[in-house]
Amino acid sequence: MQSQRLPAAGISILIHGGLLLLAVLMASTFLLYPLELGRMPLSARAALASLAGLLLAIGARPFIPFKPLLSRRLLVYLLVVGLPLLSLGPWYFLVYLPTNAGEGVKGEQLASSLITESTSNGIVEIGFAYPIYTPTISLTNSELFSREVDIYLRMLDGNNDPALFRAVRTVLPDSRLSVEATVHGLLSESSGYLFIPIALPPGGVVEGRVVFIISDLNDGSTFDEALGRSYPAEFQIRDPENGELLTSFPLTRI
């Protein structure tokens, strides 16, 4: 009994369908992995987009309409379909983005919340002598590349003395049991919390709740008292490498 061979047309459909699938997978990496791709040079991102466009042009050829005009005339097809798809990536990453990109990182407070011993509901163990402040913030990276930032909270007490609180870190410098390590271990089990350094994709927005462990201010006021007295307070966005202040935005009792 002779085995039946797949017709040439069927083989062509399978090959071009596979190329289309590969093109879609490559293009989807820009949506699925913006942080990782944002660490690549613009030229590498443009080359990846061009490759996806090339695979799309080749894979789509048997399926396009107007076959007598495009599908059977390779030169016409390359000029009308292939060339625009190949040039779209370089134009977007090498011309459009550098021209329209903004500068720096911007922040905004969206909500304000406080975890205390009386309101923790088991999230924070009894024994902490100070509240855990977990405001919801939004960070926007207007730059061309991914970057990491640290978040600080700066307050002035009644004596105009500054107090600077650093958000809870992702990686602690040692394994000693500390309040920061305990709070991180408890809250990292819940979704929606951000721990520094916070990674921001280019042109992307990251929202979440940062965590501050608030000890008493220099004049002995509690954090809740300071908020009630409207002590000046702001969030600071800093560079994790050198501590440089990038920008700041005000704390509000939302």
- pLDDT of 41 reads 96
The CATH class of 105-250 is mainly beta
| Long-range interactions of 61-70: CB distance < 8 A, separation 24+ | 61/16, 62/12, 62/13, 62/16, 63/16, 63/20
- pLDDT of 247 reads 93
- pLDDT of 156 reads 81
Q: Is residue 154 predicted with pLDDT exceeding 70? A: yes
Mean local confidence (pLDDT), 12-16? 73
pLDDT tier, 1 (very low <50, low <70, confident <90, very high otherwise): very low
Mean local confidence (pLDDT), 83-88? 86
What residue ranges do the domains of the chain occupy? Answer: 8-100, 105-250
Instruction: Answer for the pair 41, 90: CB distance below 8 angstroms, yes or no.
Output: no
116/228 Cα distance (integer angstroms): 16
Q: Is residue 21 predicted with pLDDT exceeding 70? A: yes
Instruction: Answer for the pair 70, 76: CB distance below 8 angstroms, yes or no.
Output: yes
More confident residue, 76 or 105: 105
pLDDT tier, 221 (very low <50, low <70, confident <90, very high otherwise): low
pLDDT tier, 122 (very low <50, low <70, confident <90, very high otherwise): very low
More confident residue, 157 or 56: 56
* Average pLDDT along the chain: 81
Q: Lowest-confidence range among 48-52, 123-127, 196-200?
A: 123-127
Q: Lowest-confidence range among 97-106, 183-192, 204-213?
A: 183-192
Number of Cβ within a 10 Å radius of residue 210? 23
pTM of the model: 0.79
Burial 92-109 (b: 16+ CB within 10 A, else e): ebeeebeeeeeeebbbeb
